[in-house]
Amino acid sequence: MTANNSTDQKLDKAVRVAVLGAAGGIGQPLSLTLKMNIHVKELSLYDVSPHVSGVAADLSHIDTPAKVSWHTPDNGGLPAALDGCDFVLVPAGVPRKPGMSRDDLFKINAGICAELASGIAQYCPTATVLVISNPVNSTVPVFAEVFKKNGTFNPRKLFGVTTLDSVRADTFIHEVMPDLNWGLIKVIGGHSGDTIVPLLSTVLGQDIKSLSHMQLHAINHRVQYGGDEIIQAKKGLGSSTLSMAYAAQKFFTTVLSSYLGLTDKNIACTFINTEFDNEALDGVNELKQIVRKLTGRPDLDLKYFAMPCVFGPNGIERVQYECLEHLDSTEVEMVKVCCETLPSNYSKGIDFVRGK
């Protein structure tokens, strides 16, 4: 691969990335996108499945700088996979089959996530961690609690990947409004059914009135339940993998370019821990106050929430709470419904690690 001077400079800034669950439906195409990223100098693929060696061999023939390695519990294990990693992407765990909820995955995936989180805390404690494994509303708290136990938790660097919801919102709105700019729709709350809250009004403004109530409801519903559409179409052979890999690389690129200082003021929605005050995460106090006001629940304990965030070299720089200041009445209702379910989802992850 040839590189001009400015590319050379950027290549000086390159990272080591691990994918945990790299042999899976998401892991494989996601690893492909990472191998294609010139800012990835080392790509470490980990899976409990021995097929990961073949995935690594296949990717290693691609003519990009990233050096690919593979690891299983019998080949170096988590210590070798995670050593020196700047980023860890986690699509490990079981996917849904028709008729299952994301919550049904918790029993198996919580244990997998706890084990992987413990490895990260030990072998790359300062890494930025992107959690894809479902149910995101509960697995992100599993990671956070394990990191807290190990004294390595940093709320600026732990993200639940909810980008697929924004990608879907953008795609579905364009089916009825093809002239809109792309990539602007924010989706907040959580990543499961009616905890998913698309904020269409913030982008559409007055144009929202050109959509009927039924059209708006249909788009919101399709974003909330888009995952089921894929599961049905795949007829028992898994859930979204290709669109998820696309979404994860999109989010990773935003976080990475901020981390490397290649571009500034990068914004993306992600599921974050909101327990700590503004000193840990700027804008988080305002977020909690506004949600409490919107839901009419002054005592609402909001420990996790997906929000648009501004990223910088150290992870999240600021939570964009302002997006909550001008919601329309449909969106306020959706936030209320979200906040009825979300606390039990995140508490499940917290309790799992605390052994309740």
Ligand X SMILES: NC(=O)C1=CN([C@@H]2O[C@H](COP(=O)(O)OP(=O)(O)OC[C@H]3O[C@@H](n4cnc5c(N)ncnc54)[C@H](O)[C@@H]3O)[C@@H](O)[C@H]2O)C=CC1
Give the annotated binding-site residues for NAD(+).
21-27, 47, 109, 132-134, 244
Q: How far apart are CA 309 and CA 287, in angstroms?
A: 11
Q: Is 202 in the site for ligand OAA (CB under 6 A)?
A: no
Which of 16, 39, 71, 96 lies at the binding interface for ligand OAA (CB under 6 A)?
Answer: 96
Within 8 A by CB and 6+ apart from 77, the residues are: 71
Of residues 161 and 272, the one with the C-beta less far from ligand X: 161
CA dihedral 75, 77, 80, 82 (to 10 degrees): 140
Q: How far is CA 156 from CA 109, 255, 304, in A?
A: 23, 11, 13
* Site for ligand OAA contains 239 (CB under 6 A): yes
Active site residues: 191
Secondary structure of residue 164 in the 3-state scheme: helix
**Residue 139 binds ligand OAA (CB under 6 A):** no
Query: Please, how many CA atoms are within 13 Å of residue 129, restricted to the half-sphere of its CB?
Result: 34
Structure tokens at 197: 């809250």
The binding site consists of 21-27, 47, 96, 102, 109, 132-134, 168, 244
d(CA 122, CA 48) in angstroms, rounded, equals: 19
Q: In the complex, what is the shortest distance from the CB of residue 272 to ligand X, in angstroms, rounded to a whole number?
A: 14
Question: Which residue's C-beta sits nearest to ligand OAA?
Answer: 227
**Which residues share a beta bridge with 76?**
72
Instruction: Closer to ligand OAA by CB, 121 or 188: give it.
Output: 188
Partner whose binding site includes residue 49, from ligand OAA, ligand X, none (CB under 5 to 8 Å by kind): ligand X
Report which of 292, 95, 269 is spatially closest to residue 199, judged by C-alpha positions: 269
Q: Which option in ligand OAA, ligand X, none does residue 269 bind, with CB closer than 5 to 8 A by kind?
A: none
Between 29 and 227, CB nearer to ligand OAA: 227
Exposed, middle or buried by CB within 10 Å (0-12, 13-18, 19+), for 12?
exposed
CB of 164 to ligand OAA, least distance (A): 5
109 binds, among ligand OAA, ligand X, none (CB under 5 to 8 A by kind): ligand X
| In the complex, least distance from residue 129 CB atom to ligand X, rounded to whole angstroms | 13
Question: Is the alpha carbon torsion for 199, 252, 103, 300 positive or negative?
Answer: negative
How far is the C-alpha of 123 from the C-alpha of 254, rounded, in Å? Answer: 25
Q: Is residue 283 part of the contact set for ligand OAA (CB under 6 A)?
A: no
Binding of ligand OAA at residue 230 (CB under 6 A)?
yes
Binding to ligand OAA, residues 160-179 (CB under 6 A)? 164
Peptide bond into 91 cis (omega under 30): no
Q: Nearest approach, Cβ of 46 to ligand X (angstroms)?
A: 6
Please give the residue whose beta carbon sits closest to ligand X in the complex. 24
**Residue 95 region by backbone torsions, left for phi larger than 0, else alpha for psi between -120 and 50, else beta:** beta
Q: Which of 35, 39, 71, 102 forms a contact with ligand OAA (CB under 6 A)?
A: 102
In the complex, the smallest distance separating the C-beta of residue 230 from ligand OAA, rounded to whole angstroms, is 6
Of 16, 330, 355, whose CA–CA distance to 200 is shortest?
330
For the bound state, the minimum distance from the C-beta of residue 285 to ligand OAA, rounded and expressed in Å, comes to 30
Instruction: Tell me which residues touch ligand X (CB under 6 A).
Output: 20-21, 23-27, 46-49, 91-96, 105, 109, 112, 115-116, 132-134, 136, 161, 164, 191, 238-241, 244
d(CA 204, CA 168): 16
Closer residue to ligand OAA in complex, CB, 66/131: 131
Q: Which does 230 bind (CB under 5 to 8 A by kind): ligand X, ligand OAA, none?
A: ligand OAA
The option from ligand X, ligand OAA, none interacting with 20 (CB < 5 to 8 A, set by class) reads ligand X
Q: What whole-number distance in Å separates Cα of residue 94 and Cα of residue 71? A: 19
Residues that bind ligand OAA (CB under 6 A): 95-96, 102, 134, 164, 227, 230-231, 239-240
